[in-house]
Amino acid sequence: MKHFISAGALVVKEGHLLLVRHYEPGRFDYWAPPGGGAEGDEELAKTATRETFEETGIICEAKALAYIDELIDPFGRMVKFWFFAEFVSGDINVGNNPAANERTVEAGWFARDHLPDGHVFPRILRGRFWDDLANGFPAPIKLPLQHSVFPT
């Protein structure tokens, strides 16, 4: 089983969370905050901010480690570090992502009560995240291990 280390950014702007849609017909269709694999000796917070820019064109600043997530999927086992991040600047543009295999087709800003239909990853974005955001993420939270197949 392959192991992956990745980081993502929970970017909030005016009470709205930045999400990216990953879509390939017949294989997967889900929304998630921007994120991806760490490169070389890159620190995880830098991974989160780099991936956000690559996937969305948004510049953000990672502030605090919010969640540690574990996932086993068809590709292997991934540990993902989710950072709360502040919006700095930029407009959404998903056309410059160098990782074409991610199939990022759109992105947007979503309020708590207006998250997209379908699968949103990680699951806590439909509930607990918003309470943790209000409390300022005082300490990282370990999320339960999940087994996943790509949702379609």
pLDDT in tens, 101-131: 778 899 999 999 999 998 999 999 999 999 9
Residues 6+ apart with CB under 8 A from 131: none
Contact 119, 149 (CB under 8 A): no
| Mean pLDDT (whole number) for 85-107 | 87
Break the chain into its structural domains and give their ranges: 3-147
Q: Where are the beta strands (DSSP E) in 33-118?
A: 35-37, 59-73, 76-89, 104-110
Three-class secondary structure of residue 87 per DSSP: strand
Q: Give the CATH architecture of domain 3-147.
A: Alpha-Beta Complex (3.90)
Per-residue exposure over 60-93, b if at least 16 CB sit within 10 Å of its own CB, e if not: bebeebbbebebeeeeeebebbbbbbebeeeeee
Task: Say whether pLDDT at 100 is over 70.
Answer: no
What is this structure's pTM? Answer: 0.93
Per-residue exposure over 100-132, b if at least 16 CB sit within 10 Å of its own CB, e if not: eebebeebbbbeeeeeeeebbbbebbeeebbeb
Q: Which of 68-72, 125-129, 147-151 has the lowest mean pLDDT?
A: 147-151
